[in-house]
Amino acid sequence: MSASQNLRRGEVAIRHLSKSYRLNGTPLPVLRDINLNIRSGETLAIVGASGSGKTTLLRVLAGLEDPDAGEVLIDGKRTRGVGTDRAVIFQEPRLLPWLTVLDNVGFGLETQGLFRGAARERARRYVQLVGLQQFEGAYPRQLSGGMAQRVGIARALAVQPEILLLDEPLGALDAMTKISMQQELARIWRDEDVTTVLVTHDLEEAIYLADRILILPREKGGEPRLIEIGLPRPRDRSAPEFVRHREGLLHLFGLH
């Protein structure tokens, strides 16, 4: 879509990243010495049991939380706090209820200083991309959960970030909407060449969408593992290789 194809931007390097929270005064380590390279344009899924720190890792990448030690480099540059090179899609759509669908999608463009007319045009394109052109003028309270989340996705894509960070974006949706949204995300990512980090607790979702899966260990002593999903797209959930990946992952979690 953009000129990023030959520049290959959006490369992330995580170096010796550690983070702990304080629980009643005692430090509770969440992330311990994480090292990882995320390739330009790839989709990396992060899975792990609850409490494994996958959301924390995403929030550190987003700049919403500071690490205790270590650093995050984007295209070789150390990040400091939030930045417009990254866009976050949260589990809740987090739409501004007083803005229409179109203005919500244009929100990020406007805060980043785009002129109103140009922002509207681009916002309109992304509203179309997620298939909500009929609802441009609707307010968030008139939308279903799945539609609202599409607006959140369009808002994030509209700023054309180098890195897209998703924190269990489909976790609150019903099973049917979830599958259709997964298909749609796969379609969108085929066209938008953007580095994507997807935190999810849904193993099938991870296999369906990701190039690689990072598995955060449940025990604090364990090592994080990386799995390459080399399946062609669009992926078939019932293909033997797909099923094999799922069984492998379940096995890793001790669920088989």
Partner 1 sequence: MSYEHVNTSLAAGFGLGRAEGHSTAIPAIASRWRALIGFIVARYGLVLGFLAFWQLSSTVGWVNPAVFPPLDVILSALWSGLASGALLDDIAISLQRSGIAFAAAVAIGIPLGLFMGQVRFVEQALDPILQLFRQTSALALYPVFILMLGLGETSKVFVIFWATLFPILLSTIGGVKEVDNKLVEMARTYGAGPLTVFRRVVLPASVPAIFVGLRLSATTALLLLIAAEMIGANKGIGFQVMNAQYNFQIPLMFAAILLLALLGLAANALLVLAQRNLCRWSQPNA
- The answer to whether 97 contacts partner 1 (rule: CB under 8 A) is yes
Q: Which is nearer to partner 1, 10 or 224 (CB)?
A: 10
Structure tokens at 180: 């259709």
Beta bridge partners of 167: 199
How do 212-215 and 195-199 pair as beta strands?
A: unpaired
One residue of 2, 5, 35, 142 binding partner 1 per CB under 8 A: 142
- Name 55's Cβ contacts closer than 8 Å, sequence gap at least 6: 167, 168, 199
Residue 40 zone, left/alpha/beta (φ > 0; ψ -120 to 50; rest): beta
Q: Which of 79, 120, 135, 149 binds partner 1 (CB under 8 A)?
A: 135
* Secondary element (H or E) of residue 12: strand 12-23
220 in Cβ contact with 188 (< 8 Å): no
Shortest reach from residue 173's CB to partner 1, in Å: 10
Q: Which residue in 3, 176, 232, 254 binds partner 1 (CB under 8 A)?
A: 176
Note whether 118 binds partner 1 by CB under 8 A: no
Q: Which two tokens stand for residue 37?
A: 């390279």
Residue from the set 4, 18, 20, 177 that interacts with partner 1 by CB under 8 A: 177
> Which residues sit opposite 38 in a β-bridge?
12
Binding span for partner 1 by CB under 8 A among 4-12, 39-47, 95-103, 121-129: 95-103
Site of interaction with partner 1 (CB under 8 A): 62-64, 82-84, 86-88, 90, 92, 94, 96-99, 107-108, 111-112, 131, 134-135, 138-142, 144, 146-147, 159, 176-177, 180
